A and B are shown apart, each in its own frame.
Chain A
């Protein structure tokens, strides 16, 4: 069946809604357990992770639908990659700074 078939579209939408609802529930459970101590790294980590919109940008930039799409896709790839790389690097950098007492004493 082709992807733009109405039946396929309906199935895709419903399964997407399931994924959304379950992810929302899971997100609530997981994020509630993060202590205030780590709220800044949490924010930069979720930021890096939501840079996954990169996968959408990549297809748009490479599929040659038309010139406008390619240009917009290219800019989107730059923006998302900046977020992914910058976000993960900075989260790692921050998390490395959180040290236990014994380790701090050794320094």
Chain B
């Protein structure tokens, strides 16, 4: 009876998880879908508490209580601009939990896992879990600004990393063939922890959307492997869904940059070597006055805002919304063009603008907004750089050649809001800034936008 109750609660949870993710196809159905998934999770937890092997509840309840408090605090207080950091941290937590369960299972059998399939799954679980934990923690540190976001490279890095990975996998295979060595197992776990750090070290901040998605995928697959070890179907299903979601997202992100996964992972993009390839740009950047821009905006028919990571760092999402409000009151059509890799994680910009009360019908994807630029009077680029770099389209020699861009340079006038004259994260020169249609407005984006609001009101 108890067996059926537990298994049935897992089956229910699996169905609700799938329905929950299916709801994600539209913002309106997503909310209901998530409530289903939450209910499914609750069912699975209640079911598990009935498990016959459980003797004492002290540690379980203590863990549930502490986790709930920490999770709730994180969920309620983390600002939307810090969403990439929070997500990286939660990948680390999830993967660490999977690794710990695997280690504990191995320890419980005293290292004598004669069943090779079981040992294989357990090895996968622990290795993926361990490398995702440290990899995600480093990604978190980079996103939070605790360590520098530029790629950290040294001579022979890729060779060294590959060698380390080969040794780790070698030990893994040995443990399957010749079971029983506890010390070797812990060497493998240790190496996997180190490999996670090495994997993320050479990857720059601008490539974080791909890394985040990949770590998401690994964390999911680690959970799925746990499911194989424990013969638990709901774990396999939820882990696989997570793993595939991350995998699909990382492919989409790579495609949005026209780069291969290998290039993202091992190319150390944004380091000194790639930046040198871009060369110098002729001409000068034209700085424009705030009042001129305000007048242009006030008398425009159509304005498109193009936000980038700079919008998040300046916390300027509400200021954009205010400017859009003022313009819409004057009868100007306002749209937002969102590049898939703008920001530090997939969909980052959409969330920020939604937070500032921008209706989602005003947020346009790359393919939807690009045909509109020729009829756009003013395109306002806010803290974005590489995603509007015309070199990607025009210069086959550019390191970002072939990357789909938002073609703001086709609009009648372009205004670029930028903190200073420096280059973007990739270190590339951006010819857009030197074009005759482009005017530069330097300063903190939030401050500039607030002053624009006032200027437009008086125009």
Contacts and interface: CB of A to CB of B under 8 A. Distances in A.
Contact of A41 (B51, B98, B351): B351
B399 interface: no
A76 B101 contact: yes
Contacts of A42: 21, 24, 245, 249, 346-347
Contact of B101 (A3, A72, A93, A103): A72
Interface stretch (B142-150, B229-237, B422-430, B441-449): B229-237
A49 B354 contact: no
Contacts of B17: 49, 52
B38 A88 contact: yes
How big is chain A's contact interface, by range? 35 or more
Interface in A20-74: 20, 23-24, 26-28, 30-66, 68-70, 72-74
A53 B25 contact: no
Nearest to A69: B104
A62 B212 contact: no
Contact of B21 (A13, A19, A45, A53): A45
Interface residues of B, number: 114
Q: Specify the main secondary structure of chain A where it touches its partner.
A: helix
B438 to A, nearest CB: 27
A57 B347 contact: no
Interface in B91-145: 91, 93-94, 96-98, 100-101, 103-105, 107-108, 115, 117-118
B104 A81 contact: no
A63 B245 contact: no
Nearest to A102: B359
Contacts of B18: 26, 30
B237 A62 contact: no
A5 to B, nearest CB: 11
Interface in B233-280: 233-246, 248-249, 252
Contacts of A40: 83, 87, 345-348, 350-351
Given A34-B24, A70-B59, A99-B354, A47 B108 contact: no
A7 interface: no
Contact of A90 (B70, B86, B340): B86
Contact of B63 (A45, A61, A94): A61
A15 B219 CA distance: 22
Q: Specify the main secondary structure of chain B where it touches its partner.
A: helix
Given A24-B244, A53-B235, A76 B100 contact: yes
Q: Which residue among B70, B101, B345, B359 has the maximum number of chain A CB atoms within 10 Å of its CB?
A: B101
Contacts of A46: 21, 216, 220, 241-242, 245-246
Contacts of A50: 94, 219-220, 223, 238-239, 241-242
A90 B60 CA distance: 24
Nearest to B73: A86
B361 A49 contact: no
Interface of B: 10, 13, 17-18, 20-22, 24-28, 30-31, 34, 37-38, 41, 44-45, 47-49, 51, 53-57, 59-60, 62-64, 66-68, 70-72, 74-76, 78, 80, 83, 86-87, 90-91, 93-94, 96-98, 100-101, 103-105, 107-108, 115, 117-118, 212-213, 216, 219-220, 222-224, 226-228, 230-246, 248-249, 252, 338, 340, 345-348, 350-351, 354-355, 357-363, 365
Interface of A: 3-4, 9, 12-13, 15-16, 19-20, 23-24, 26-28, 30-66, 68-70, 72-101, 103-104, 107
Given A44-B90, A50-B242, 16 more contacts: A26-B241, A27-B240, A35-B365, A38-B27, A41-B24, A43-B246, A45-B20, A45-B37, A49-B20, A49-B242, A50-B94, A55-B47, A56-B230, A62-B51, A74-B62, A83-B97
